[in-house]
Amino acid sequence: MNGLRGDKENAMYSERHNSKIIIKGLKIYAYHGKLPEEKKLGQFFLLDLVIYFNFLENVPSDTLENTINYVEVINFIKEKFTEKNFNLIETAAEYLCDSVLKYFQKIYKVDITLRKPTPPVNADFDYVAVEVMKSRDSLGSVLL
């Protein structure tokens, strides 16, 4: 064989080496919401992140410098989520996705689920959530 792969084999090879890091249930206190009480009192929000990167390209050895440092991602998310106040969780999640893709060059896709466990609604439910998925290709105007 001459070392060249066909399209189908290239797709399989590429899929095997794509990796993701999952951060579940990141709890952050912030002041997001439309109502004055939400802006004044604040509340906890829960975030789930899935960040995608190419394992083969970014981790040729077993060192932290060659991968995505999830501690750095967590600290970055905490900082970005609390530096501005948003009326909508949709806007906050979009902002986080854009910020992650802009700052972490090795990440090519990010999925963020932002949950608001205690919205001011007179009803019995677990939470309200929004999920935003963005890739580096979809990165348009960024609110940075």
Catalytic machinery residues: 116
User: For residues 46 and 42, what is the distance between their CA atoms, to the nearest angstrom?
Assistant: 13
CA distance linking residue 18 with residue 68, whole number of Å:
13
Q: Across the strands, what pairs with 21? A: 51
The pLDDT of residue 69 = 93
Asked whether the beta carbons of 137 and 101 are under 8 A apart, the reply is no
**pTM (global) more than 0.85:** no
d(Cα 28, Cα 47) in Å, to the nearest integer? Answer: 8
59: pLDDT strictly greater than 70: no
Maximum pairwise Cα distance, the chain: 68
CA dist 46 and 113 (Å) reads 8
pLDDT of residue 57: 56
Q: Can you give the C-alpha Rg of the chain in angstroms?
A: 18
